[in-house]
Chain A
Amino acid sequence: MLTILFDGVAYGMLLFILAVGLCVTLGLMNFINLAHGAFAMAGGYLTITLMQRAGVPFLLCLPAAFIFSAFLGLILERTLYRHLYDKTHLDQVLFSIGLVFMAMAMVDYAYGANQQIVDLPSYLTGRLNFLGASIGVYRLFVIVICGLLALGLQLILTRTRFGSRLRAAVDDGRVARGMGIDVTSIFAVTFAVGSGLAGLGGALGTGIISFDPTFPLKYMIYFLIVISVGGTTTITGPFLASILLGVADVLGKYYVPAVGGFIIYTIMVLVLILRPQGLFARGPAR
């Protein structure tokens, strides 16, 4: 029981790192980016390539995945995404689905449709016994890293100048702009960091979830659930939502596999109807 709970928390932490960038960009620019999973996939496949073909150690792959995805995000934001901020939501959805399709076909072309598995270094594969529960070292590693990242993000958001500018821009972009805050470049930076975190999440995820070209579509649903339950105005909301989702998903798959994703989707729809602004959000959604 404790083991499953632990796995669930690790999974939820991973989901948080994958989805947090999307939450912030959605709250900031009101931009529906369904292609967020493609950045995570980029990070995951970069790790797989580096480790399998170039023999790069796993720990080095993590920052590499972050930088690669962040760079990719920055380029795409500057060249393509920025043309879409003032377009309708439908256009944004279509555009990002188009990107997802392209990314999926490219990965399929380069790596084939098979699931990719990574050989984790031996110091991350064992199991520990803690209070009678058997805990995977790798899951512990994921929890520690993601926990530190979440803490770091929260500190940046609440304690730094950039953080206050970002919060101001999320709360009311127009007024923030009027106060002389450069919302456009804040957004570019946030978008890049968000994509980078997704890439890092993808790299970390190679040890827990299997990668194949349909990844962006499969996990798009999870990201959307995190957003809908957590809201887009804080970081703690998506964080709690991710943990809940991770635990619920792992518990559900373990105890009632026949029900599958049914419970999660139903909860998502219910939350959307009862609290459109998210479970943990303050104030109504804009």
Chain B
Amino acid sequence: MTDQTISTKPSPEAIAARSVLLGRARWGWPEIAFWAIAVALYFLMPTKLMLLSEIAILGLLALSIDLVLGFAGIVTLGQGAFFGIGAYTAGLLARYGMGEAPWSDPLLGLLISGGVAAALGFVTSFLVLRGSDLTRLMVTLGVALIVEELVNQMKWLTGGSDGLQGVMPSAVMGVWEFDLYGKTAYVYSLTVLFVLFVIARRIVKSPFGLSLLAIKGNPLRTRAIGMPVNGRLVLIYTIAAFYAGVAGGLVAQTTQFASPDYVAFHRSADALLMLVFGGAGHLYGGLIGSVIFRVMQDVLGNITPQYWQFWLGMMLVLLVLFIRGGIIGLLMKMRGRIMRNRGPSA
């Protein structure tokens, strides 16, 4: 029995696994550059801060879809439900909080929005555990439709199709008031996005994130090696709902408005498109996609206001037919080619 003392030293395998995980989690210079640019934009484009803030929020919504689609492989068309729930929660808190702490405090509002969305996400996550892609698609869409219907019908609470008016969040941390130029809005949205992004990055680079990728690759085999597939899916779906809820809360606070439009089908579809434009499964895909999506919407929308949808559809068709993996996929392919060319000569 004496030789069976419990060793506190990690085994060589554990050390190797640890270094692999740490290696995956290291910050590369393109990532640092990305966030540096995001901060620099505050000073470079002082007239476009509302737009930038909206991009950051859309990026967060796309990020939440990336968590379920890019990492766990769940095709969803219903993330707008959580976004909308978050928007209405934050909006109602700010409206009936009457500018009094703590209820109209923006940060607390975000937490509650995310929490309510996560609760709905947890309940509905059990519906997406089973079935094929088509079933999941229709279930997520169905949940979003039910939420949209509720928002439209509960006029006494949500203002119906007129939207929720009079959303007045108090100053962020009691110091920074929301202004017309979007200064506070952008810094606030970007900060929230960054914090949640770092957490998401931590999540997907962890062993839990790896297990999600395994589930995406092959759920049956993952179950066979003893992974609690359903539990993992419930967890990530709930987390993603939290993210979408926070994004919705942000939009209600920064624009001081919430409308049934936030729950509508095209909201979920747009966010999915942004993610796919950028490339799913890299975390940055949604962020890059939202920048491109919104900028193109601005530019093309100025040329032909109504028919931007046409170009959007066209881009989608071309994307699916020719550029798999979105922009990040394209960049990685290019990098791979350069590396290969450089390889033999070095």
Binding site for B on A (CB under 8 A): 26, 32, 80, 83-84, 87-91, 93-95, 97-106, 108-109, 113, 217, 221, 224, 228, 258-262, 265-266, 268-269, 272-273, 276, 285
What is the CB-to-nearest-CB distance from A88 to chain B, in angstroms, rounded to a whole number? 8
Answer whether A90 and B75 are a contact pair too, CB < 8 Å, given A83-B321, A97-B269, A261-B149: yes
Set of chain A residues within 8 Å of B315, measured between Cβ atoms: 98
Q: Are B310 and A94 in contact (CB under 8 A)?
A: no
What is the CB-to-nearest-CB distance from B210 to chain A, in angstroms, rounded to a whole number? 21
What separation, in Å, do the CA atoms of A109 and B310 have in the docked complex? 10
Q: Are A32 and B137 in contact (CB under 8 A)?
A: yes
Q: Are A90 and B138 in contact (CB under 8 A)?
A: no
Set of chain A residues within 8 Å of B119, measured between Cβ atoms: none
Which of B143, B306, B313 has the most A CB atoms < 10 Å from its CB?
B313
Answer whether A285 and B132 are a contact pair too, CB < 8 Å, given A80-B317, A221-B145, A224-B141: yes
Set of chain B residues within 8 Å of A83, measured between Cβ atoms: 321
Chain A interface, DSSP helix/strand/loop, else mixed = helix
Answer whether A98 and B152 are a contact pair too, CB < 8 Å, given A106-B310, A268-B142: no
B273 within 8 Å of A (CB atoms): yes
Q: Are A32 and B133 in contact (CB under 8 A)?
A: yes
Set of chain B residues within 8 Å of A113, measured between Cβ atoms: 306
What separation, in Å, do the CA atoms of A26 and B135 have in the docked complex? 13
List which B282-330 residues lie within 8 A (CB) of chain A.
306-310, 312-317, 319-321, 324
Set of chain B residues within 8 Å of A272, measured between Cβ atoms: 127, 131, 135, 138-139, 142
Number of residues of chain B lying within 8 A (CB) of chain A: 43
B153 within 8 Å of A (CB atoms): yes
Q: Are B310 and A84 in contact (CB under 8 A)?
A: no
Q: Are B149 and A98 in contact (CB under 8 A)?
A: no
What separation, in Å, do the CA atoms of A26 and B141 have in the docked complex? 18
What is the CB-to-nearest-CB distance from B325 to chain A, in angstroms, rounded to a whole number? 11
B16 within 8 Å of A (CB atoms): no
Q: Are B153 and A258 in contact (CB under 8 A)?
A: yes
Set of chain A residues within 8 Å of B266, measured between Cβ atoms: 217
Known A-B contacts: A90-B75, A269-B127. Give 16 more (CB < 8 A): A32-B137, A84-B320, A87-B320, A90-B69, A94-B272, A94-B273, A97-B316, A98-B319, A99-B317, A101-B316, A102-B310, A109-B307, A217-B266, A262-B149, A262-B150, A272-B139
Q: Are A91 and B320 in contact (CB under 8 A)?
A: yes
Out of A97, A103, A265, name the residue touching B142 (CB < 8 Å). Answer: A265
Q: Pick 7 A–B contacts, CB within 8 A, sort by A.
A: A89-B137, A94-B273, A94-B320, A98-B315, A101-B310, A221-B141, A269-B142
Q: Are B149 and A105 in contact (CB under 8 A)?
A: no
Q: Kindly report which residue of chain A lies nearest to residue B129, judged by CB atoms.
A: A273
Q: Kindly report which residue of chain B lies nearest to residue A268, judged by CB atoms.
A: B142
What separation, in Å, do the CA atoms of A8 and B165 have in the docked complex? 38
B26 within 8 Å of A (CB atoms): no
Q: Are B310 and A98 in contact (CB under 8 A)?
A: no
Set of chain B residues within 8 Å of A258, measured between Cβ atoms: 153
Q: Are B138 and A105 in contact (CB under 8 A)?
A: no
What separation, in Å, do the CA atoms of A99 and B317 have in the docked complex? 7
Q: Kindly report which residue of chain A lies nearest to residue B265, judged by CB atoms.
A: A217
What separation, in Å, do the CA atoms of A89 and B266 have in the docked complex? 19
Q: Are B132 and A276 in contact (CB under 8 A)?
A: yes
List which B63-102 residues lie within 8 A (CB) of chain A.
69, 75, 77
Set of chain B residues within 8 Å of A84, measured between Cβ atoms: 320-321
Q: Can you list, as one digit per residue, whether each of B100-134 has a CB less than 8 Å from chain A (1) or not (0)?
A: 00000000000000000000000000010011111
Q: Kindly report which residue of chain B lies nearest to residue A286, judged by CB atoms.
A: B132
What is the CB-to-nearest-CB distance from A175 to chain B, in angstroms, rounded to a whole number? 20
What separation, in Å, do the CA atoms of A83 and B320 have in the docked complex? 10
Set of chain B residues within 8 Å of A228, measured between Cβ atoms: 135, 138
Q: Are A265 and B306 in contact (CB under 8 A)?
A: no
Set of chain A residues within 8 Å of B138, measured between Cβ atoms: 224, 228, 268, 272
Out of A89, A101, A269, A276, name the residue touching B143 (CB < 8 Å). Answer: A269
Set of chain B residues within 8 Å of A268, measured between Cβ atoms: 138, 142
Set of chain B residues within 8 Å of A101, measured between Cβ atoms: 309-310, 312-313, 316
Q: Kindly report which residue of chain A lies nearest to residue B73, judged by CB atoms.
A: A90
Q: Are B310 and A105 in contact (CB under 8 A)?
A: yes
Which of A103, A105, A268 has the most B CB atoms < 10 Å from its CB?
A105
What separation, in Å, do the CA atoms of A105 and B313 have in the docked complex? 9
What is the CB-to-nearest-CB distance from A84 to chain B, in angstroms, rounded to a whole number? 7
Q: Are B317 and A93 in contact (CB under 8 A)?
A: no
What separation, in Å, do the CA atoms of A99 and B131 have in the docked complex? 26
Q: Kindly report which residue of chain B lies nearest to residue A90, judged by CB atoms.
A: B75
What separation, in Å, do the CA atoms of A32 and B133 have in the docked complex? 10
Q: Are B75 and A93 in contact (CB under 8 A)?
A: yes
Set of chain B residues within 8 Å of A224, measured between Cβ atoms: 138, 141
What is the CB-to-nearest-CB distance from A284 to chain B, in angstroms, rounded to a whole number? 11
What is the CB-to-nearest-CB distance from A257 to chain B, in angstroms, rounded to a whole number? 10
What separation, in Å, do the CA atoms of A26 and B138 have in the docked complex? 14
Out of B130, B133, B145, B314, name the residue touching A89 (CB < 8 Å). Answer: B133
What is the CB-to-nearest-CB distance from A45 to chain B, in angstroms, rounded to a whole number? 16
B39 within 8 Å of A (CB atoms): no
List which B196-245 residues lie within 8 A (CB) of chain A.
none
What separation, in Å, do the CA atoms of A94 and B314 have in the docked complex? 11
What is the CB-to-nearest-CB distance from A176 to chain B, in angstroms, rounded to a whole number? 21
What separation, in Å, do the CA atoms of A109 and B143 have in the docked complex? 32
